[in-house]
Structure 1
């Protein structure tokens, strides 16, 4: 598949060819655990990473491989590894980079589950995270030390809908000799291609806009293939001999595909966070309509956000697509197709009114998800971000009085009517 083809074409064709055995045009679901070796030498070459092929579906599977190739093509990466969820993708991305005593510098504007993962779970590996407002570039530079192994941010943040100046952050990470990892879940490659802006790695929760229909969970890590893992000795898992493969050096052996091969041969092998082939199949089908869905998501979000901003019962709307947003200039410069379709708003009456509004909505589905074709609503402070302190909630854009909307592809006038009715009930 030609890499110079448009994203609209790549969403349909990238990574998939007719099945060579049956001629099936849609990628089959290879529902198998293992694969027949031609002979003992063939098996040995596969296990030694001397030949590319299929061994066991915890590592590689033809349906999942097709999805990996498609996601890599959409992001403009050298390779991709798919896994069981977006959270799994974050650990899979960090695993080759980190070690006991090492840290990452992460944006304060992150999904609450990610803040919890970085604040607590990764400490069990001996890793740690420093949280910084990435708009403050001086603070970002000051936070990076000799033990920092990555900078982490979201292209469009959940739940606030803020946008990150990826090129500026990438320059700082590059100067420090460490990779920038960007969670591109909310933007998708339709709105933003972080690797073209200087990021080294992109992670996705494929569960959201990429699949687009709320049916399966999945994650992906995409590598640019451009980072020199051997430059400064900070990444021995990639630059130094690997004992489990008789001293093989991943970067020396695989070059631009070093990170991708490590993600499969070490990450999936040892962590086991495998994507199932049926989930990969659903995601492949969902991506086929990505370029049709995303413009409607954005168009609807802009209309709903503008209406909310003009309503006297609403005290604030945090959407970078609004001219009033402090991030609007960055959004126009880096996200010209739109600032996504997820944002917060608050209403008069604070926490209690916000809760009443969520309960009063009828067309919006009250679920812990986003990126569905359906419009969704949630109160982050009592759900997705409830593990955080109030200070952390506010820093993440999930203050107690805020409601998060994920705008779907319905008729926007119907969405506004539903919000109007709910606001009337919530504000009395």
Structure 2
């Protein structure tokens, strides 16, 4: 089911959609070497294949870890004899220096258009000499809607898919398959193929793939599912609300459901959001500890990841809570949305150019570090917003209590009393 044209790529619309960078390269036939990085099964190889199919260039695939320099030499020889070759080099972060030194001049000559694929962060794991000669694009997990598109294509394509079989994939099974693979299309299609080819057909030849079959074939139980997929988000919602409500047992229960589904990305994103949205300034140290726990979980993976995640959940549940930070920024954004922003005071404007003083830019600005306690009274907000107070401090933790005391003092000293 690998796409042969760039317009057939599923997902990654920010890269291959109309008017986007890779689509522009293909349409103009002005290709440059690139590195695609992201989780497995998200379309790195598919994008490379589609680029080759759309441009009619030869397409070769090698693995930087397992293929030797000799295989690279053969690809280069082909490029010299027959023209440009698009080379997909998987696991490019494992490219050795001898292979790299051999490859670099051919990238510069344009004979080889390199598409490097990696699950590692290229800014950390890939040699600067390769990075400097490539454009780097992040490939993100597909959405459930994208996965459904690809599944339906596979069910109807008679040449490359399962279209010659009579298959009834139930809505519940489709929903589960699109959700539980977490944007890994390869896993979704592998599970679908196994289900289709291992399920005995009925007397009329119809192969019915229901939820139980899909659960068995992808080895992920549908602890959360319904035909509309709402239950998955219900669990995530219940997870956050349980932490916000300081119920550690409920939060552990809902996180257990997500762990059983193997949904580390959702757990990680939600915990980081909760740490800053719901605990926030009442206990900033808890947010820092959550970042550490999530980092550890992502490094070690399941099943051990459950341990630092549980530490973070219990810590957040039993911490004092404050949503004053999100409330403050949302209030500021709401003013902007209404066009209520005013002009930046002249003394705060950039003065690092010739003629700025004549325009009054930066004039009369008082440098706080030149004054006692590194503070001096002056206006910072636009004049029409001078009395605005977006931050509404709370008293739910020692840290924010101290911030509140300081905030009130500063507002009073600036002539902006807090009411």
Note whether the superposition's TM-score is higher than 0.5: no
Higher strand share: 1
TM-score for both structures, normalised by structure 1: 0.26
Give the alignment's TM-score, normalised by structure 2. Answer: 0.27
Whose Rg is larger? 2
